Structure 1
Amino acid sequence: MEAAKSAKAKLETTPDELKVYSYQDSVASAKEYFRGDDLAATVWVSKYALKDSFGKIYELNPDQMHWRIANEIARIEKNYPNPLTAVKVYELLKDFKYVIPQGGPMTGIGNNMQIASLSNCFVIGQDNPADSYGGIIRIDEEQVQLMKRRGGVGHDLSHIRPTGSPVLNSALTSTGVVPFMERYSNSTREVAQDGRRGALMLSISIKHPDAERFIDAKMETGKVTGANVSVKIDDEFMKCVQTGRKYVQQYPINSTTPKYRVEIDAQKLWKKIVHNAWKSAEPGILFWDTILRESVADCYADLGYRTVSTNPCGEIPLCPYDSCRLLALNLYSYVENPFTPKAKFDYDLFKRHVIIAMRMMDDIIDLELEKVEAIIEKVNNDPEDEEIKFVERHLWEKIREKAINGRRTGLGITAEGDMLAALGIRYGSDEAIDFSENIQRMLAVEAYRSSVIMSRERGSFPIYDTKREMKNPFVNRIKEADPALYKEMSEVGRRNISMLTIAPTGTTSLMTQTTSGIEPVFLPVYKRRRKVNPNDKDVVVTFVDEVGDSWEEYYVFHHKFITWLEINGYDVEAVKQYDPEQMDEVIAKSPYHKATSNDVDWVSKVKMQGRMQKWVDHSISVTVNLPADITEEMVSKVYKTAWESGCKGVTVYRDGSRAGVLVSSKKETKENSAEFPNKRPNSVDCEVIRFKNNDEQWIAFVGIINNRPYEIFTGIVDEEVRPIPKTITKGKIIKVKDDKGSRYDFQYVDKYGYTNTLGGISHMFNKEYWNYAKLISGVLRNGMPINDIVNLVSSLRLDSDTINSWRNGVERALKRFIPNGTKAKLGTKCPECGAETLIYQEGCLICTSCGTSKCG
């Protein structure tokens, strides 16, 4: 408790008085906090620890972060009746046990050293969108202004006139939506070049005549790499697909007297959507009529709350210039006596915490409004001309207005998979679906109850009107579940226009050390291997390979699977030594058996999403993972089942899709050709290699053509500025040309099936590295044998220590591609026996005389 008081006291001081910690010290302290979890520690320090604009770290571990957040929320609470204390808030945040701020709130609350928004996501687009270059460029500028404040952005393109439409300028006819998709995508990548990861969702109505071009836009290599894309599908289109009737596309899409109208074969377009999703995991689908029909905020559409698009992950459909902040409840922590026959869910504690979590969410809106005011003040004080500052200032003024009038929140959940396992319920079973829906219903009712209580104490959102909501299906479900609550809401109003979501909790789940969102466990146990020196003290050698290298194989356990082992009397250290058959026997006895992401039937997952969606007034972010051999017909069935089940949207990811399936606009070289192409293709495959260079963490991006290196970019890893999941080992290097010249971007697909782009890897390292990289890449492209290039690089003697380190990194990365059996350069002797019998095996020099392995 004394340590907690000390941390609290530190965070009540000014930034100048705060102690600055080294990255290593913070990681060490965070690792102790997370009980030895390296990944959780490094992610927390890189993404969430308090920092200033220069990257200085002011927090040693998450406990200080939680006091920072608790103090700020308590400060806002003092403005209202019955305020929460900082200690009460801290108790809910502590150890990531109950309430978890996500993303922006975790990094930004209490950070006065960086001027950034607390909102996780925004949607933009005028209420009366202008189909003109002026309107299109305005959206482009607003998108960039939001992304530089670290917000994800979504906007809809259905207002842009279709290809071939007449325009009153020198072009004569419109180019349609696709060129503007590329414009917005490029803007996202440009923001990412400065160390920020832009996130963008582009959507279009299936009713738009350019819908098919939109759907195909990302199938060409290197196109629209900076955006996720989704199609807004209406009920009429789905009915036409089912019955074989023609479907009418028109422009403008909502006009009763459209300028352009065409009948299309709905089934043919549907097959195109399904094929592209099967092949590349995009486009995602938004069932737009379901979204609008269920949306509580759309009861106020005529007052500016008409939903037009979603955030990049699809869980928050929003009106123009509205934004949302995210908070999640850790469901696992509400299981008493987990993994035992006495396990039960603590409903009373859960209800109490939902009430408080909604208060915290409302407080965060006030904190966000303070941030918005600070942004507007900064814009006003900037030295640019008023004409230049107008767009940014007006943007934030509109965002402020939406936040004040709607007070939208994003309260969600995480650890669904672990909660079910702790209760002994198999994920995907009918019992699991029923139980999960019941918990979500309880969350919805109590969240609305909390909003009603706050309305009585703090006032309702200004435009609340009971009559407007009388026919809303979601509100009527609340009414049916709790008539007394609805009656009170009708009398006193509600504090928040909409308030529930289920967002992806990727890095957040690393902090909670649980399963993510409503997803099942990926695997309870999986195996990794690392090369070891057999002469080191206490080293464990699992096997020696055919070239004499020693390896240790070790198990990686899901955190809550370890908890199950401990509760059920297993010696965890002993289990770590089990052979595969023994491990399978143990897993078969656990509640995670037949309940992993690969085990759960897609029908069950879609059914669960649909049932839970009835109690989420926004939406749910979830990806349906499918096996590699699934047919396109089955993908179609997934989509149709999702629509029939009441889902608001669905994304599929077929195992292995996106890798090597995109069609290049250039002629491809023959696979069996030994020659490199005369001109660099727009896209080449890439292998990502991580290694230690002295005490530094390095990374190499190696472009591959015809199974051999074609180019290389390498340097020191900056996980804070350029975070790439350590599980990513492959991707593509895309050559991009724009008005600033050309650059190389790294593109990869994450575990959720989303394409991510790291902008400008050609310039992300030291400028000298780039100059030498061009030199080495030029040699590679001219076909010089890899071992000769390695010898050339290793023979360089440079005056700069940093360049010598770079040289070592290039040498280590390229050695991996030397064909097995290649002899070392003439005169190279074995350090053990002195024989000139060294050959390369898997990048290591092996002596065929004595078996010595030399890796360096």
Structure 2
Amino acid sequence: MSVKTIVPSAQTYTQDEAFEASVAYFKGDDLAARVWVNKYALKDSEGNIYEKTPDQMHRRIAKEIARVEQRYANPMTEDEVFEVIKDFKYIVPQGSPMAGIGNPYQIASLSNCFVIGNEGDSDSYGGIMKIDQEQVQLMKRRGGVGHDLSHIRPKGSPVKNSALTSTGIVPFMERYSNSTREVAQDGRRGALMLSVSINHPDSEDFIDAKMEQGKVTGANVSVRMDDAFMQAVKDGKNYTQKYPIFSENPKNTKEIEAEKLWKKIVHNAWKSAEPGILFWDTIIKESVPDCYADLGYKTVSTNPCGEIPLCPYDSCRLLAINLFSYVEEPFTKKAAFNFKLFKKHIAIAQRIMDDIIDLELEKVDGILAKIDADPQADEIKAVERNLWKNIQTKAEEGRRTGIGITAEGDMLAALGIKYGSKEGTDFSVEIHKMLAIEAYRASVYAAKERGPFKIFDSEREKNNPFILRLKDADEKLYYDMLEFGRRNIALLTIAPTGTTSLMTQTSSGIEPVFMPVYKRRRKVNPNDQNVRIDFVDEVGDSWEEYVVFHHRFKQWMEVNGFDTDKNYSQEELNKIVKKSPYHKATSNDVDWLSKVRMQGAVQKWVDHSISVTINLPKDATEDLVGKLYLEAWQAGCKGVTVYRDGSRSGVLISNEEKEEDQETTLTAFPTKRPEILEADVVRFQNSKDKWIAFIGLIDGKPYEIFTGFADDEDGILIPRWVNEGLIIKNRNDDGTSRYDFQYKNKRGYKTTIEGLSHKFNPEFWNYAKLISSTLRHGMPIEKAVELINSLQLDTESINTWKNGVARALKRYVADGTEARKQKCENCNSTSLIYQEGCLTCKDCGSSKCG
């Protein structure tokens, strides 16, 4: 297939020009404008911007879709495509297609997500390293990646190498996670999903790995639950884990209490929102591509958000239909859904998706040409080249698409239907049933015009539950599919639409509205003129808080005569919200069991999966989380994630005043920093660098730390004999905070060094702020040391600083504290304890400091 990309105009725009024009395009929405300019406006590697507003982007996409259309009968024109994609109103290509279609400046894939794996599930080091390399190669081309670890031998299994026994799953989780963090994708990190079967003997270690501070920070993790395990939990019975998983002749078996492991999963999800749950038997039973499992389409894992289960080396491109735009006269008594227009646009959306596969195959040709032209030796390029050849094969054979939706929450509100109600669920099912039927009809029609996907075989699919559902709903569609085949192996999904929904200015995906009114924080420079400071965090950064109306809530206000420019009090806002269709219908209000049942009902009309999060309040119990998981399994969901408020931090906060947190932290530290702290001065040397640390103490325990070079040229100079003093919080003339160090000289006079934070290199100071924050919130010192040691830092000097800070803090670890996951370098024992800041082996007595 020849590669022909339309090169855009050479005219370029500055960041400010594009941002200003985009703010006008989005009617003053600076967040949407910033997201579009930074992520999707066409730009080259030197930062030149070639598109000023999304209109130019949509015209670029329309040109390319129309070019592909010319290959087939009854082609759509560029203007016809442009009309349905412009203004983010109806059809919205998501993420990679939006950024990559018609982009001559990046050699990147149009696929949003990939799954990789080894043929025969090899768990050799060579196979494991191949996966690592493939993951990196995909991420540098912008894709999110998933792979399953169930093929890796459990910990302690015999191996025929110098190690003699297997290390198990967890070290490879860390390896893959670290690789993800190292790969940049146009200002963002790569996205990774790691999964494992609950049937694997190391699944408990997998579940616990994400809970350890600083470990596996570059991956989402999910557990593949089979029906037998879920039934054992429900019945209170034991469950047998095996390796290889589900083997008739396993090498390892392990009988466990299903409920005990289940409670650990629930606890971890309650505490940290992970692991996610994948109901694997449901996924496989319902999967249309798994009808072709013996031909290489056996589903093994999912993409990072869980909405696309995939076989190895398959990929998917995503597109969302904006449901809100089909509501005529929204937020009025005459509001109605335009099913006729929706039906018409589904067919167009599926046609565009099939065209995007052709564009993706051109992109893969370009990637392969780039690999071939690279100067490296063939043996170095072999893994990358074979990877993309495999992806090319799957895309050509299966032509998988991923049509989804966004704005479900706003659609229901605009119709006056409460999200989570029976009426709301019934209407959503009606929408998704139509989407499924019409997308499959469009795929059958495309097969008639363009030919079916290469391995289509109706006999293989005849007992698939999803296909049988389509048959019951529309027999003509089913028999047309028998006659003409289908263009695409699978078609539908419901993905999260984070940045997409910012630009459609609607609720995200299938989710309800997060909050109709909320506060957003932005960091401000306290030295700027006319700046308003509403909040100063624990490390002294200043923030402005401002009220934001959800766009469609604001539209409801306008329709119903409310002044959207008025500065309302909180009490007034509460009263307005109560009158709106968003009242008691936000992500924190919706009855959680109703939401799970809605997901299960909608899932029956989605051939891939649904990415959905159940939002729970901070005081939700672990029992509730477990109940929701069980309900999700019984309702026919393919997966589920829970998020309890506060289990992960974010920048959106409730507009209502939060009650003081009544939970006690691990230490008795005050929530407000005292003005004066006693302090230790610790000096250390790594390589040729001399460092100094000022450690603020409360009750002899570290509370904050300031560090940097200990010399008069680049850092701070105080007499060598000074080893203690005070850190005093003071105010500058402009109202900002500073931290001064005060000590007594040998004559007893006080000497003050002003502004510790300004005396040091900003990089050291920023890391010190991070460490100070963990100390202030009660992280045990030994855990803080582990966090510092896990930091991935770039330069030699910053690494010597890191090592020195860890040494300085070890002095404060209580004697006898165990050091986890470390081994004695002398005898390989894991029985290590801290003793006077040094790691001491209880077995052989050897000690290591530093």
- Smaller-chain TM-score bracket: 0.7 to 0.9
Shift of 1:616: 0.5
Tell me the residue number matched to 2:363. Answer: 371
Deviations 1:527-577 (A, max 9, x none): 4689999x999x99999xxxxxx999853111111111111222322xx22
Tell me the residue number matched to 1:594. Answer: 584
> Residue 248 of structure 1 aligns to a residue in which SS?
strand
**Mapping of residues 43-442 of structure 1, within 5 Å:** 43-192=35-184, 195-442=187-434
**Mapping of residues 25-40 of structure 1, within 5 Å:** 25-40=17-32
**Identity within the alignment, %:** 64
Tell me the residue number matched to 2:838. Answer: none
Q: Which runs of 5+ in 2 are unaligned?
A: 536-541, 651-665, 671-676, 685-694, 730-737, 742-751, 777-850
In 2, the alpha carbon distance for the partners of 1:79 and 1:594 equals 50
Change (3 A) 1:516 1:712: farther
CA contact (8 A) 1:150 1:196 kept: no
Tell me the residue number matched to 1:825. Answer: none
Tell whether 2:14 aligns with 1:14.
no
Change (3 A) 1:781 1:334: farther
Tell whether 2:482 aligns with 1:490.
yes
> Residue 219 of structure 1 aligns to a residue in which SS?
coil
Deviations 1:222-254 (A, max 9, x none): 111111111100000011111122211111113
Deviations 1:501-535 (A, max 9, x none): 000101110100000001111111234689999x9
Deviations 1:463-503 (A, max 9, x none): 00001001100011111110000000001000000010000
Deviations 1:104-160 (A, max 9, x none): 000000001110001101000023111110110010000000011111000000001
> Residue 428 of structure 1 aligns to a residue in which SS?
coil
In 1, the alpha carbon distance for the partners of 2:212 and 2:768 equals 34
CA contact (8 A) 2:197 2:225 kept: yes
Structure 1 counterpart of 2:330, which letter?
P
CA contact (8 A) 1:710 1:780 kept: no
In 1, the alpha carbon distance for the partners of 2:487 and 2:544 equals 57
CA contact (8 A) 1:202 1:229 kept: yes
In 2, the alpha carbon distance for the partners of 1:84 and 1:711 equals 63
In 2, the alpha carbon distance for the partners of 1:782 and 1:153 equals 51
Shift of 1:593: 1.0
CA contact (8 A) 1:703 1:712 kept: no
Shift of 1:585: 1.9
Tell whether 2:646 aligns with 1:656.
yes
In 1, the alpha carbon distance for the partners of 2:755 and 2:298 equals 63
In 1, the alpha carbon distance for the partners of 2:756 and 2:263 equals 57
Change (3 A) 1:510 1:712: farther
> Residue 55 of structure 2 aligns to a residue in which SS?
helix
Structure 2 counterpart of 1:581, which letter?
E
CA contact (8 A) 1:127 1:304 kept: no
> Residue 500 of structure 2 aligns to a residue in which SS?
helix
Tell me the residue number matched to 1:738. Answer: none
> Residue 606 of structure 2 aligns to a residue in which SS?
coil
Shift of 1:458: 0.3
Q: Bigger CA drift: 581-590 or 633-642?
A: 581-590
In 1, the alpha carbon distance for the partners of 2:702 and 2:431 equals 51
TM-score by length of 2: 0.77
Shift of 1:427: 0.9
Shift of 1:624: 0.7
CA contact (8 A) 2:400 2:491 kept: yes
Q: Which runs of 5+ in 1 are unaligned?
A: 1-10, 544-549, 661-667, 681-701, 714-766, 820-856
CA contact (8 A) 2:302 2:310 kept: yes
In 1, the alpha carbon distance for the partners of 2:180 and 2:724 equals 31
Change (3 A) 1:536 1:251: closer
Tell whether 2:627 aligns with 1:637.
yes
Structure 2 counterpart of 1:596, which letter?
T
Change (3 A) 1:797 1:160: closer
Shift of 1:605: 1.1
> Residue 710 of structure 1 aligns to a residue in which SS?
strand
Shift of 1:578: 2.6
Tell me the residue number matched to 1:562. Answer: 554
> Residue 146 of structure 1 aligns to a residue in which SS?
helix
> Residue 121 of structure 2 aligns to a residue in which SS?
coil
Change (3 A) 1:382 1:676: farther
Tell whether 2:489 aligns with 1:512.
no
Structure 1 counterpart of 2:7, which letter?
T
Aligned residues: 708
CA contact (8 A) 1:704 1:711 kept: no
TM-score by length of 1: 0.77
In 2, the alpha carbon distance for the partners of 1:440 and 1:348 equals 14
In 1, the alpha carbon distance for the partners of 2:182 and 2:533 equals 47
In 1, the alpha carbon distance for the partners of 2:145 and 2:240 equals 30
CA contact (8 A) 1:793 1:807 kept: no
